């Protein structure tokens, strides 16, 4: 049995994989992590009017995710939901060595919900969501 290896063909294959497959898989992983983090964030998010949840959902839906089962908008204030959707955004930044997703919730009081105030306990929805997603990723690897 004769087995021939052509170095140039191997190098071309490796280079093609490096240029195409790795960036695609890196982007898919970043999107999967962002989608799961957003889903968890929405579930942890306290709801009164639905404004802040609506802002998170903008990015989640853009990434191909779905609203969590049983999600409701609290009182169902349509103006608040509209305002929330306008305050949410997703920015994708792709470079040669990096895939980055920037999720923004621009609702004016989002930091008070996340970190709390002197009179309000923090909901810590983003931090708890990230912690849960990191735990899931560690179990998978």
Q: What is the mean pLDDT of the chain?
A: 89
Residue-wise pLDDT for 40-83, tens only, equals 999 999 988 899 999 999 999 999 999 877 766 556 678 999 99
- Residue 5: the pLDDT is 64
Question: Cβ neighbours of residue 54 under 8 Å, at least 6 residues apart?
Answer: 73, 80, 81, 82, 83, 84, 85, 88
Output the six-digit token pair for 124. 């810590």
pLDDT of residue 16: 74
Predicted TM-score (pTM) of the model is: 0.82
Q: Which residue has the higher pLDDT, 10 or 75?
A: 10
Q: How far is CA 106 from CA 8, 89, 99, in A?
A: 52, 8, 22
Report the percent of the chain where pLDDT is more than 90. 66
Please say whether the beta carbons of 35 and 60 come within 8 A: yes
């Amino acid at each position: 049995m004769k087995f021939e290896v052509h170095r140039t063909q191997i190098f071309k294959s490796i280079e093609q994989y490096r240029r195409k497959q790795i960036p695609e898989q890196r982007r898919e992983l970043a999107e999967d992590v962002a989608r799961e983090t957003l889903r968890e964030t929405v579930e942890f998010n306290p709801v009164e009017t639905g404004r802040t949840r609506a802002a998170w959902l903008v990015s989640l839906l853009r990434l191909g995710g779905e609203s969590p089962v049983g999600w409701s908008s609290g009182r169902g204030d349509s103006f608040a939901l509209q305002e929330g959707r306008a305050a949410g955004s997703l920015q994708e930044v792709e470079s040669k060595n990096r895939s980055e997703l920037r999720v923004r919730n621009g609702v004016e009081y989002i930091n008070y919900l996340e970190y709390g105030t002197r009179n309000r306990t923090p909901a810590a929805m983003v931090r708890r969501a990230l912690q849960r997603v990191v735990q899931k990723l560690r179990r998978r690897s």
